[in-house]
Amino acid sequence: MSRQEQLARIQLELADAKGRAHEIAAPLKNELWGTRPAPDQWSVAECLIHLNLTSRAFLPLIKDAIGAGHHRESFGGASYRMDFVGRLLWWAATVRLPLKTTGPFVPLCAQPKDTVLSEFDALQTQLMGWVKEADGLDLCKRRIVSPFDSRLGYNLYSCLRLIPAHQRQHLRQAERVIDRLRTGLRAPG
């Protein structure tokens, strides 16, 4: 797969997450939007707010890494590759391995659905813009320190692959929340 195809795939994954978030949220009435299926489980609102918090943390890191790259020589012809830490984290998100969310990324309160979705859309647009800006740079040499855990770092390509994988993980979580809420509403009792 060429570098342009790799970046196009990331763009498509981000666009798909944007559409999926709207599909998940659209049928929810306001009272279900912020309802947790259990005290220790997030609501749909909290899942999406978490994704917004995450995107807000990653955007300046991506901007800095890409900005530093534009002052240097462009990347040659080989495909991008995730590094070891990036592959490990991508695998964890892909196989739905639950990882503990650190304090700054835990949603503190539910916000209105329209507000959360508007912010999600704006952040996705910004992420897609930075993916476009990354074209031609050596994303394997640019490094990101994880905003979740400063002991972890990975290359910029890994970061750009991790974000949509993480989004898919929490969008699946939001879908499970809806299933649990619907089952609870139908349960006799």
- The number of domains in the chain is 1
Tell me: the pLDDT tens digits for 60-113? 999 999 987 555 555 566 789 999 999 998 898 888 666 667 667 778 877 899
Calpha distance 170→50 (Å, rounded): 8
Where does the chain show beta strands of DSSP type E? 143-145, 153-155
User: For residue 89, with 0-12 CB atoms within 10 Å meaning exposed, 13-18 middle and 19 or more buried, which class applies?
Assistant: buried
Tell me: the pLDDT tens digits for 2-60? 999 999 999 999 999 999 999 999 999 888 899 999 998 999 999 999 999 999 999 99
Q: Are 173 and 50 in contact (CB under 8 A)?
A: no
Tell me: the pLDDT tens digits for 36-45? 999 989 999 9
Residue 15, domain extent:
3-186
**CATH number of the domain encompassing residue 130:** 1.20.120.450
pLDDT for residue 153 is more than 50: yes
pLDDT for residue 182 is more than 60: yes
